[in-house]
Structure 1
């Protein structure tokens, strides 16, 4: 046996397995093209769900703050009579939409100023409700591929908050 031409066991294994690696070349690219769209869809879905939770939380806090403001200012003087004036309704709307009692600044949520606010009074309970349409970031609809109309992704969100009117409000 010639020491210059003899191969070690590791060299023999490399020669045998090199043919197998040549056949496997490009498999990773094929796997990536199969998995990448599914992976991206999951990432976008998680981002959209997180965005919805953030917007819902922002809307809930805005409605809660506006309800507290309404609760304080709805009973003027020392009377227990609830008096919701148009000016007070406008201030409450501005609190929900902009976070301030004046109609200034940016909307808290995109498209929020087009939402409807409803104030209802039942005895000494005041309820403020806001209807808002959540709009996805990436698309408004998913195509239904010939099975009728597209599937809309905009959906309504309703937030309500009820408080007992404080006797002897600030006004």
Structure 2
């Protein structure tokens, strides 16, 4: 009886190592995918916060009390776009080249920020950005075209002018 138990135990010696070698790549892929999803949520949250800040600034500055409606001048649009992209409401035009590499924090150019009047009392600020994962732009396919991994992110804020 003891010989049979010893023989069964000896036959099972390397099975755990083989199972670990099979499941490790899958577990690492799952862990990396969870991290990329967290990065996506972080970048969307950053865009949404920038959109809120720019919307609050534009809503505060755009109200024309004489006419009783929102007036968006070119200078106000430029300052709002600069606030959304760099955090400073400067009136100087900013030239920007978007970063094509996958960055940990989003780099948004003023051309990706749209400032518009929404009716007569509201201001709408929309920021567009394309999320690029760290692993690349797409997954190859055996048949047909590959799957693109870039995700367009759009953060929109509408605020009533003060």
| TM-score range for the pair, normalised by the shorter chain length | 0.7 to 0.9
Q: Of 114, 138, 141, which residue of structure 1 is paired with 2:138?
A: 141
Q: What CA deviation, in whole Å up to 9, does each residue of 1:62-88 have, x standing for no partner? A: 100110000111135x43343322222
Q: Quote the residue 1:128 is aligned against.
A: 125
- Alignment map for 1:49-68 (pairs within 5 Å): 49-68=37-56
CA distance in 2 between counterparts of 1:115 and 1:25 reads 62
Tell me how many residue pairs correspond in the alignment.
Answer: 149
| RMSD value, Cα | 2.3
Contact kept, 8 Å, 1:58 with 1:108, in 2: the verdict is no
Deviation at 1:99, TM superposition (A): 2.1
Give the structure-2-normalised TM-score: 0.80
- Contiguous gaps of at least 5 residues in structure 2: 95-102
Q: Which has the larger radius of gyration?
A: 1
> Which of structure 1's runs of 4+ aligned residues deviate more than 6 A?
none
Whether the aligned pair in 2 keeps the contact of 1:59 and 1:159 (CA below 8 Å) is: yes
Determine the structure 2 residue equivalent to 1:7: none
* Offset at residue 16 of structure 1 (A): 4.3
Determine which of 137, 142, 152 is the counterpart of 1:156: 152
Structure 1 runs not aligned, ≥5 long:
1-11, 167-171
- CA change 1:82–1:114 in 2 (3 A) is closer
